[in-house]
Amino acid sequence: MIVRLILFSNIIVYALWTFGSPAINDWLIANTLVSWDGLQEGRLWILLTSVFSHQLFIHLLLNMYVLNSFGSLLERLLRRRLFIVFYIAAGIVGSLAHAFVSRYLLERPDLPALGASGAIAGLILIFSLLFPREKILLFGLIPLPALFGALAFIGLDIWGLIEQAEGGGLPIGHGAHLGGSLTGIVFYFFYLRPRILRQREQNSHY
């Protein structure tokens, strides 16, 4: 249910970008693009609203495909409330990470970003740590054990961020990806794994 609501919300915002009037596009630029400068201006809500905003169809399609693939299972495992709390937290941390690296590493405090990629990266990390031997497709083509695939994504984002810092690279929010991934790692090791171990210990007493 939550995954469907997130999917629907992202599609609605994409439709506004695509079919909205110039005034609507101006509003979206001001309120759904996250940047260091935007935060400095006091528009703190962009940390969250940017997570539900996509301008390009391929960006929307990829993120929503991954969300539906991993999110549906994780929503059932975590239950709705915990799932949405984590998803929002990973998205906000991803937005913060983008703003931070664009300001201090890339020296581009005006650099805007949008999209669910940070939150999605967090979901991938949780899935990979829960089911490390399950197969996932790197770039949708190369089958790898989930944990290796997640580590490969992190490595590629670190490499991509270094390239951007040196003036090259692709227009990808590597900082947001890494922020979301870090959120997934912290959530797993400091909350989810201890809870799983407690449940196993309780079950062993019966």
Q: Which residues are catalytic?
A: 117, 177
Collapsed DSSP state (helix, strand, coil) of residue 145: strand
How many other C-beta atoms lie within 10 A of the C-beta of residue 168?
9
20, two tokens: 């909205």
Q: For residue range 27-47, what is the model confidence (pLDDT) as tens digits?
A: 999 999 999 999 999 999 999
Quick one: pLDDT at residue 1? 83
Domains of the chain: 2-204 (1.20.1540.10)
Instruction: Report residues of the chain scoring pLDDT below 50.
Output: none
Structure tokens at 166: 């040196």
DSSP 3-state assignment of 107? coil
Question: pLDDT value at position 36?
Answer: 98
Beta strands in the chain (DSSP E): 135-138, 142-145
What Å distances lie between residue 198 and 37, 41, 83, 128, CA to CA? 44, 45, 20, 20
